Amino acid sequence: MKALSGAAVIGLAGILLSGCMSSYGPARPGQAPNAIQRSTVLSSNEKSITIEHSTWGKPIAFETAEKHCGSMGFVAVYRGGTRQYGPDVVSTWTCE
């Protein structure tokens, strides 16, 4: 069996890592939540929405709030967030 050259090993490692790294960093608009870029609706009604999200899932949370309020003809207004134990934040928006 022929051994791989150093350049081939580095190239193969780069290809493998690039596939694994796609979920790191802040989410992009329209991206679905995953284990790192988390965003979960905790509560929603016609007046507000509360979402638990990771720091890197913040773009998904904002987009979710905009869609929720927009579906009723309102604009989502960010009212703040509270940090919990761990990396997640609970954020609330009102629909105005």
pLDDT single digits (tens) 23-45: 566 777 777 777 788 899 999 99
| Domain range annotation of the chain | 25-95
User: Which of 61, 58, 95 lies closest to 75 in space, CA to CA?
Assistant: 95
Q: Which residue shows structure tokens 């761990």?
A: 86
pLDDT at residue 63, as a whole number: 94
Question: Which tokens go with 40?
Answer: 């979960």
Q: Which residue stretches of the chain are H helix? A: 6-20, 58-70
User: Which of 27, 15, 30, 88 lies closest to 54 in space, CA to CA?
Assistant: 88
The pTM (predicted TM-score) of the whole model is 0.69
Q: Which CATH architecture has domain 25-95?
A: 2-Layer Sandwich (3.30)
The terminus-to-terminus CA distance of the chain in angstroms comes to: 68
